Structure 1
Amino acid sequence: MEKQIINPWQWQASRSYVQAVEVKQETGTLYCSGQAAINAAGQSSTADMKTQLLQALHNLEQVISEAGYECQGIVRLNIYTTSSTELFACFDVFQDWIARHNVKQASTLFEVKSLFETLKVELEATVVK
């Protein structure tokens, strides 16, 4: 896979995303459903935002890995949250995960009225290899 990052500006780097990602010569594309803080038994978390974000990232990483892809191949990562304020209070967790996996992705953040049951954050990814 050949991946090119398009950033006409530099300010978005401190927010852990890029303006656009061009992919050429990929050998596969994985479209992940939204991953949230749901355990292996299918129970939705009632924990705080930070705990839910950590579980959602873990679940996303597990789906990507089990599909034979790598997190570094994420080219789009959309974030849905019921509270931007709560999410930004623990956004360093997200940024650390992005940095650890060397992800350079286009992203959009959506604040929504509600998510499934007691969920506060959901991550939707497109991954290439």
Structure 2
Amino acid sequence: LLKIRSNIYCILIICLQFFDIWGGTIISAYIYDEFTEEIQDVNKDAKEKDKLKIITEYYLRKAIFLRTSINLIIFFFSFILVVYYRITNNINLKYYAYIILIATILFSNFILHFWRKKRERSLHK
């Protein structure tokens, strides 16, 4: 049961990352033109345009998709370790997979936290 649970965790995290990339791409495709038009609107004041540029930079130009894609690759690697653990019964592989998953999630969230703090500081100048 424990071996199956390890596989399920990895598969769920991989699916989450895949749908995060897919959903982010769809959302970006729909809102990019809207943001660009809003920024170019001559009736908006400079401060409002600057805020729109900051939001556009954060959501559409930051390496959010790169971060998510790298996470996906690392999660696939963890899944491979779990599968190899099931084949060889080397318990260390399972622990390595868990450590890699947890470290990746923590580091990825730290990067997002840093980007959000930077965005918030920029918006409240």
TM-score by length of 1: 0.21
> Which structure is higher in RCO with an 8 Å CA cutoff and minimum separation 6?
1
Higher strand fraction: Structure 1 or Structure 2?
Answer: 1
Bigger fraction of residues in helix: 2
Larger Rg: 2
